[in-house]
Structure 1
Amino acid sequence: MSLADRKLFVERWLKSPLKVASVTPSGTDLCRAMARAAGITPSRRVVELGPGTGPVTAALRAHGVAPENLLMIELDAAFAGHLAAIHPGATVVQGDATRIQRIIHDHGWSDCDSVVSGLPLIAMPLPVQARIVRGAFSVLAPGGVFVQFTYGPFAPINPELIRRLRLKPHRHSWIARNLPPASVWTFHRLP
């Protein structure tokens, strides 16, 4: 991550710590694990929620996602502008992740293969978390995967929501070298 990226991240965190929700961007090992969990291939369409300054985005691109198959939804206008500048050809939407279904349809997508989230889902009120997760699963193609990381020991989606939506959680990897250590989880919908 460049010095400019770090500076932007710290500025945005100082302005709105609850929205940014981390004092440091995701580490390289965590970002690579997120990309692996998403099952990236050049033809897979990926929606990224809350990309911030784009460290996970960079890992997705490095693992082969084509810019035209990447749609990022970022609430913070400064982060969104930064992402658009460094990822030409990708679609960057400054918007709310609770509107994922409308956003991808407004950009000509009917569905996607992976939703990769850097949002602090588990810290969100359950109704907001539910809107985001329901929306993500409404746009995932059959067999699609929802990828989320957490710093905590448990699945980063409320257990009641997992039950109601019939999701199958799986801890994909644990990244001890991240600061703080993190786990990457995948979620699939049960048949």
Structure 2
Amino acid sequence: MAKAAQCGPNRRVVELGPGTGPVTSALLGHGVAPNNLLMVELDPAFADHLSLLHPDATVVRGDATRVHRIVQAHGWESCDAVVSGLPLIAMPLSVQARIVRGAFSVLAPDGVFVQFTYGPFAPVNPELIRRLRLKPRRHAWIARNLPPASVWTFRRLP
């Protein structure tokens, strides 16, 4: 996921649903500066854990459907990548749409939305992909993960 987000010290990354933080650690390990990482976590226990684990990064206890407001409140105009560990595929289309629309509302024009899934297909509803004019691409398949997982990237079509 960190590779798909094209991590680096000058790239701003928003992470949705970091949970216990394995992807967070990979983002930081691949060069994202802590002050360029904004994590949005709904669960208070996970948020507290992440704050202790990564004290130089920002953890916001919040709902990913409000990512636009959260990013603006943090003082960012945009970011280079939104990385999501949320189970989008299991969410109602209306919730999925709010999250994905929100992610693209804060992404720079050449930004990337990165999502992993355990399912065999793109984790964003095909109708939503069409409506938002997105280009999905399976970036990686992780067979050694149990269950096997895929990392997908989504970019705006020109």
The TM-score with structure 2 as length reference comes to 0.99
Q: Tell me which protein shows more strand as a share of its residues.
A: 2
Aligned partners of 1:149, 1:120: CA distance in 2, in Å?
A: 8
Matched, 1:70 2:40: no
Aligned partners of 1:158, 1:171: CA distance in 2, in Å?
A: 14
Partner of 2:48: 81
Instruction: Decide which of 127, 131, 134 is 2:94's aligned counterpart.
Output: 127
Q: How many residues align?
A: 158
Cα offset for 1:100? 0.2
List alignment gaps of at least 5 residues for structure 1.
1-33
List alignment gaps of at least 5 residues for structure 2.
none
The TM-score with structure 1 as length reference comes to 0.82
Q: Partner amino acid for 1:97?
A: A
Q: How does 1:156-171 map to 2 (within 5 A)?
A: 156-171=123-138
Cα offset for 1:69? 0.1
Cα offset for 1:136? 0.1
| Structure label with greater radius of gyration | 1
User: In angstroms, what is the RMSD of aligned CA positions?
Assistant: 0.4
Q: How does 1:8-27 map to 2 (within 5 A)?
A: none
Q: Partner amino acid for 1:114?
A: A
Cα offset for 1:73? 0.2
Cα offset for 1:142? 1.3
Partner of 1:28: none
Matched, 1:139 2:106: yes
Q: Tell me which protein shows more helix as a share of its residues.
A: 1
